[in-house]
Amino acid sequence: MKRMKKVSLWLVILLVGVLVVGSAPAFTKELPKEIVIGWTPPDITGVFRTATHYFEVGAFDASLNGITTTIIYRAPASHIAFGDQVAIIEDFITMKVDVIAISPIEVEVIIPAIQKANEAGIPVIIVNLLEPIAGVEVASYIGFDNFECAEVSAYTVLDYFGGPGMLGTGRKVAVEPGEYLDLKWWRDLYATVTPEEKAAIKATGAIIEGVAGGFFSTARVNGFHSVIDEYPGIEIVGMLAADWNREKGIKAAEDFLTANPRGTLDFVWAASNEMGMGAMLAVEAAKRQDEVKTFTNDVTPESVMLIAEGRMVAETTHGFADWGWYGVEYAVRAALGLDVPQIFDIRPRTMYKENADEFFPEPKLEPIDWDAIKAEYLAK
């Protein structure tokens, strides 16, 4: 009798175990323990310091919300150390990072490295570029049109030197707080320019470009000329390359100031704000800041402060905070095998003294719904 009770007890235990196991799934899907993003910009100064900071902020936000994410960042020695960036990408591949995010020094030189990442099955995110790169697979492009961003800058020059807008002495246009001063806004405004207004736009200026002949520099210079050249009252007296470097920007501006004595130069446009801030410093050192005005591209906390102080006139934002913030979101989605938007267009727009606080210290970025991303992954 005792033996029968013992056997019955074991049968009950076995039956309960079968019922419990049978009612549960064979396994539970879990998030990866860690997502590692390898990030390589052309350097970690200026604009790229801002982008890198927001990559780190985005990774912290993801980790805080249950998706542990780590950023590893490495940069070449300079903007002309093309081989360095290729080697960095190849190192990331060897390390088997989950995603590689790249802001290319130049496009052509990194294509073989991206192809290697494709072969290794590592998703690639490209920032600072919207134009698709032929011959490679890229999960997403986050950036802007380099030609169009320089068009926006050219319109600020026209505005300051007699055209309609909010910067200079021409016809004043009311700008609402938060208004998006992008290329469409400027084109629509300048479609209304009268012949008399066009004739009144006059200035003499110089251009500081990036790497002479490079993809980004050429696109920006051509974009600037596409607008400025339509206004015969604007004369460009020269162009020098400064390799996206502040010290070289100082030297280029000094050369322009020497070659164009007082009363013969009205502005310098630099294709990036590291060079632009260099130009501003040279102009101030020569005590010609009341005569020679500086315009540039990029927007970083430092340049926002300088424009708010009136030391530069205007700058076209390229959305460096957006690169890092949305770069992490898209990298995480790619690492989890989720759909990623092919293109995120930052739409460059004008930053000037009156709207500087819209860009820094708190740039406007949409919150990322990490819970929705987790749910989407776990439901796959």
Q: How far apart are CA 256 and CA 273, in angstroms?
A: 17
- Closest by Cα among 180, 256, 191, 254 to 227: 191
Q: Report the topology of domain 35-144+321-347.
A: Rossmann fold (3.40.50)
Cβ-based burial of 278 (10 A; exposed 0-12, middle 13-18, buried ≥19): buried
Provide the pLDDT for residue 24: 41
Helix axes of 46-64 and 320-335: crossing angle, nearest 10 degrees: 40
Q: Where in the chain is the domain with CATH 3.40.50.2300?
A: 35-144+321-347, 146-317
Are the C-beta atoms of residues 99 and 123 closer than 8 Å to each other?
yes
Looking at residue 24, its amino acid is A
For tokens 């200079």, name the residue.
Answer: 168
Strands (E), 158-248: 203-209, 234-241
Q: Which residues pair with 101 in a beta bridge?
A: 39, 125
Return the pLDDT at 167.
Answer: 97
pLDDT at residue 20 in the model: 40
* Residue 255 neighbours by CB under 8 Å, 6+ apart: 240
351, two tokens: 């930053």
What distances in angstroms separate CA 357 from CA 41, 189, 222, 308, 341, one per listed residue?
26, 24, 30, 8, 29
How many whole angstroms from its chain centre is CA 216?
Answer: 13
3-state secondary structure of 291: coil
pLDDT at 27: 52
pLDDT, position 59: 98
Please, are residues 113 and 121 in contact by the beta-carbon 8 Å criterion?
no
Q: How many CB atoms lie within 10 A of CB 205?
A: 23
Alpha carbons within 13 A on the beta-carbon side of 250: 8
Q: d(Cα 356, Cα 314) in Å, to the nearest integer?
A: 10
Q: Please tell me the predicted confidence (pLDDT) of residue 14.
A: 36
Of 297, 298, 279, residue with least CA distance to 206 = 279
Q: For the chain, 380 residues long, give each residue's pLDDT as a single digit of tens.
A: 434 444 444 434 333 443 344 444 445 789 999 999 999 999 888 789 999 999 999 999 999 999 999 999 999 998 889 999 999 999 999 999 999 999 999 999 999 999 999 999 999 999 999 999 999 999 999 999 999 999 999 999 999 999 999 999 899 999 999 899 999 999 999 999 999 999 999 999 999 999 999 999 999 999 999 999 999 999 999 999 999 999 999 999 999 999 999 999 999 999 999 999 999 999 999 999 999 999 999 998 899 999 999 999 999 999 999 999 999 999 999 999 999 999 999 999 999 999 998 888 888 899 999 999 999 999 98
Q: What is the sign, positive or negative, of the torsion defined by CA atoms of 295, 205, 245, 327?
A: positive
- As to burial, measured by CB atoms within 10 angstroms (0-12 exposed, 13-18 middle, 19+ buried), residue 84 is middle
CA distance 190 to 155: 8
**Which CATH number fits the domain 146-317, given the four candidates 3.10.520.10, 3.40.190.10, 3.40.50.2300, 1.10.287.610?**
3.40.50.2300
Q: What angle do CA 122, 102, 64 make, to 5 degrees?
A: 75
